[in-house]
Amino acid sequence: MKKDFMSSMREKTSTLPTSLLSTEENIKSQIQILDQLRDLIPPLSEEEYKQLQQNILKHGVKDPLTVWETTSTALHLDEENRPVYVLIDGHNRYRISQEYKLDYRLNLVRFAGLNEAKDYMIDFQLGRRNLSTPQIAYLRGLRYLQQKTIRGGNKLSTNSIVDVSVALGEEYGVSSRTIKRDGDFAAGLDKLNPLQKQEILTGKEKFARLSIEALAKTDLTKSNPAPDEVILPVKTSRNTVGENRVKKLEAIIRELAAGQLSRKSCERIVQKTNELLAILQAK
C-alpha cells in the first residue's frame, strides 16, 4: 500500500481506548452494513473463508474491524442526524464473530462522505491482499468510474475526465488505456447477477473479458439480452489459427462493441470473443 495513502488514513483513524468499554459495546450493537460498500470487497473463495474461520476460532479476531463513524443525515437515511456506524473493513471477520459470538476490537475512521469512504475501501483492498488479476482490474475499474463520476458531476471538460485515467495509470503503474478497460470491466461485471459476478471474481467461472467489457456499453432493456445470456462460460478449443485470424476477430469485436448494441449484435460479440479466446488458449 502506498505510504502517502496510509499516512492520510492514520490521520482519520482512532482506536477506541480500552477505558471506554461501554461506548465500544454500544457501537458494536449499532454496526450497520451497506450493500454498496460491502460489494466493493472482492469475495473470498470457499477455501479462503474456511481458512479464515479456522484461524479465528483458534486464535481469535486479531485485527480490529474498521467502522465509519458518520450520521444518518450524511448518509441520507433521515434528518435526525443520529450517529451511524458503518462497517468498512472486516465483513468476513464480523460475520464469523457474530456466528460464534466472539469478541473483537474496533477501529473508527471518519470520512467527508460516501465517495471518500469508497475510495478508501478500494485502495485498502488493492494494498492488503493477494488479489487475482480480475479482482485487481475490477477494483481499479471501480476507482476510475468513481473518480470519473465525481469529475463529471463537477461539469469539467472531457480532457479532465481523460486525466483521471492518466493519473490512476501512473498511480498503479499501468497505461491509461488499461484503466479505461478496467472501468468497462467493472461496469460490465456490475450488470451481472451477484452470484455470477462472485464466481467470476473468485475464478469459479471462466469468462471472456471482452464480452464483459462489451456488456458495459449495453443497455439491458427488454429488447436486449439479460446478463446471463451475454456472459457465457468459455469453452476451450484445440483449433489453432494464424495471427491474421486473431487480428480479424479482434477487429470484428471492437467494431461490434462500438456500434449500436442489440440482442443479435451482443450474441455475435459473445460468439466472436469465445472464438478468439479459444484460439489464444490453444497457443
Q: Which of these ranges, 63-77, 105-119, 128-142, has the smallest mean pLDDT?
A: 128-142
At residue 78, the pLDDT reads 87
Pairing mode of beta strands 83-89, 31-32: parallel
Spatial neighbors of 252 by CB under 8 A, at least 6 apart, are: 272
Across the range 38-63, mean pLDDT stands at: 91
Task: Note if the pTM is more than 0.75.
Answer: no
Q: What is the pLDDT of residues 145-171, one digit of tens each?
A: 988 876 554 344 455 545 899 999 999
In the predicted model, what is the mean pLDDT of residues 248-275? 79
**Contact present, 87 and 69 (Cβ < 8 Å):** no
What percentage of the chain reaches a pLDDT higher than 70?
A: 76
d(CA 29, CA 58): 24
DSSP H/E element including 181: helix 176-189
Max avg pLDDT among 4-13, 110-119, 213-222: 110-119
Closest residue by Cα to residue 185 from 225, 227, 135: 135
The domains of the chain, with CATH numbers, are 1-113 (3.90.1530.10), 206-283 (no CATH)
Matching residue, cell 503503474: 173
